[in-house]
Amino acid sequence: MLYRILADLIVTIHFAWILFMLTGFILTLRGFFHREFFEKWLFRVMHLIGVIYVNLLGLMGKFCPLTLWENILREKHNPSLTYPGSFIIHYVEKLVYPEVNPWIIYIPTIFITVFTIIIFILRPPAKIKKLFK
């Protein structure tokens, strides 16, 4: 039972991470189109590092460590509860699609990463901009 609770906790953390990535992208996109830019430098730096990390994992064909930990815990609780592949694809498939090609996830991830890097370079947070002056 403990393994199942820990696996469910990891799913919750994983979901929160995805929301953080999407929220960061929405705030970046909003700042691109409006004059008032989101200036929380720590949030923006963590988001930038996060999108680069997620993108690199996808491009290397690796799975997020949270997915791996969740599967290890699920296997210890009940081996029939493990799933092959990606966290997002596994859960999105169940909710929306009968089958999802991984590129449906990878292409937007690449776009979000490139966009975030470009905006970070063009409009860095004020605190970071001061470091390079």
- How many domains is the chain built from? 1
Structure letter (DSSP) for residue 62: P
pLDDT band at 106; cut points 50, 70, 90: confident
How far is it, in rounded angstroms, from Cα 29 to Cα 40? Answer: 15
Residue 3 pLDDT exceeds 90: no
pLDDT band at 93 (very low <50, low <70, confident <90, very high): low
| Residue span of the structural domain in which 72 resides | 2-131
126 and 35 in contact (C-beta within 8 Å)?
Answer: no
Res 97: pLDDT: 43
- The pTM (predicted TM-score) of the whole model is 0.71
Residue (of 109, 108, 81, 104) closest to 93 by Cα position: 104
Token pair for 68: 């791996």
Provide the pLDDT for residue 50: 94
Task: Let me know: does 14 contact 64? Beta carbons within 8 Å.
Answer: yes
d(CA 38, CA 86): 31
Which sign does the torsion angle of CA 120, 126, 130, 133 carry? Answer: positive
23-56: pLDDT as tens digits: 999 988 887 777 666 778 888 899 999 999 999 9
The token pair at 11 is 């799913």
